[in-house]
Structure 1
Amino acid sequence: MTGPRDLRVSDAEREHVVSLLNKAVGRGMITLDEFTTRTDTALAAVTRADLNAVLVDLPGMVNSEGGHARTELKNSFGTTVRKGHWVVPRELVIRNTLGSTNLDFTEADVPPLVDVELDVSVGSVKLVLPPTASVNIDAVEIQAGEIKDKVRNGVGNPHFHVRGYVRGGSVVIKRKR
């Protein structure tokens, strides 16, 4: 599997880092020449590692869109629900055994890219995405279960990259009506 630092970045993420560099200039942390060099690097970034390299020596200037870096939702024999206004982490792990997890992203603060890792055993997961969102489910392995992707497109913002395992369970991905 691909590590988080090796994931490709979007134009929105590059622009966010450029805005952080702009703040760094305003705070006197870097010169205009450094800003130009770092901005060129950020705009040419392909992976998260490339992008974060321009911020690594700037205290308080972290590419932390979406709040917390990683959140794990564990559920056994119960129900986990997130809806309304909530801050979506950049990485979300769903561990679900004989339970259900229902996540509604339509009113949430969502970063441009969300990496969702599934570990579902005889349970269900429902993801309700914002109207402009896209999703990629190519890295989901299904064993005696099913995944229903009602979004079915690969380009949009925010983008959800869903991967992991579904054993005897179901995953439904759709947009709110």
Structure 2
Amino acid sequence: MLMAEQPAPVDPRELRVSDAERSHVVNLLQKAIGHGLLSLDEFTERTDVALAAKTRGELNTVLVDLPGLTHKDPTAPAHTPPVELRANMSTINRQGSWRVPRELIIRNRLGSTKLDFSEAEISHAEVRITLDVSGGSVKMLLPAGSSVDTNDVQVVAGSVKDRVGGTNGRPRFIITGRITAGSLKIRRAGYVRIGNLVIRSPWKMGMASD
């Protein structure tokens, strides 16, 4: 007796989407405007695509380049939400051996955020950081051998000083978002050894391990 041929499994990207899913993605696009990731024209274009989408693959095309905003299929692993750091007329300082998440959102309102990644625990090849800065400053000290991409940072009456640059180093820091009347300064940690004394530039010195 011949066995009936089993149908091939359906690719999750080909699953049909509902009106509720389309509305959810439009809400995500609205959040992207608030984060400075999309212009109004881009939002309008992507909203039209989302509302016309018939499959999950078509729907995801409008979110694929937006960090932290993903509409996943039911079989995909849960997405870890980005970690938010908020400095409202205050100072946030991360240094030493702290665990770096895959995605960070920095919200500054006349505040200061200092992130020292030089001795941090980084288990990702890429770290995505979204800026939402209105006044104040953001300073980042990156580890040796790292690289950074700031091409998609929008600046209004502010400044970006990147002393690292490059795209080949690992880990790679991808920075996006918006700075209004604020500043972003990025540099890589440097080390100088004088006898048994190791001096890290900037901020720290210690004894050599050997």
> Shorter-chain-normalised TM-score: which range?
0.5 to 0.7
- Contact 1:122 / 1:168 at 8 angstroms: preserved in 2? yes
> 1:57-72, aligned counterparts within 5 Å?
69-72=81-84
**TM-score, normalised by the number of residues in structure 2:** 0.54
- The code of the aligned residue for 2:97 comes to H
Question: How far apart, CA to CA, are the structure 2 residues paired with 1:100 and 1:132?
Answer: 26
1:146 aligns with 2:159: yes
Match of 1:165 among 151, 169, 178: 178
RMSD of equivalent CA atoms: 2.6
**Which residue of 1 is the match for residue 64 of structure 2?**
6
Question: How far apart, CA to CA, are the structure 2 residues paired with 1:85 and 1:155?
Answer: 24
Tell me the secondary structure at the aligned position of residue 88 of structure 1. Answer: coil
Match of 1:131 among 144, 153, 156: 144
Once the two structures are TM-superposed, the CA of residue 154 in structure 1 deviates from its matched residue by 1.4
Once the two structures are TM-superposed, the CA of residue 69 in structure 1 deviates from its matched residue by 4.5
Deviation string for 1:76-108 (max 9, x for gaps)? 111000000011111100000111000000111
Match of 2:120 among 103, 108, 114: 108
Tell me the secondary structure at the aligned position of residue 108 of structure 2. Answer: strand
Total equivalences in the alignment = 126
Question: How far apart, CA to CA, are the structure 1 residues paired with 2:150 and 2:99?
Answer: 22
1:83 aligns with 2:141: no
Once the two structures are TM-superposed, the CA of residue 112 in structure 1 deviates from its matched residue by 1.0
Question: How far apart, CA to CA, are the structure 2 residues paired with 1:83 and 1:152?
Answer: 21
- Contact 1:69 / 1:89 at 8 angstroms: preserved in 2? no
Residue identity over aligned pairs, in percent, reads 40
- Contact 1:69 / 1:90 at 8 angstroms: preserved in 2? no
Structure 2 residues without counterparts, runs of 5 or longer: 1-36, 39-59, 191-210
Q: Which has the larger radius of gyration?
A: 2
- Contact 1:134 / 1:152 at 8 angstroms: preserved in 2? yes
- The code of the aligned residue for 1:94 comes to I
- The code of the aligned residue for 1:131 comes to A
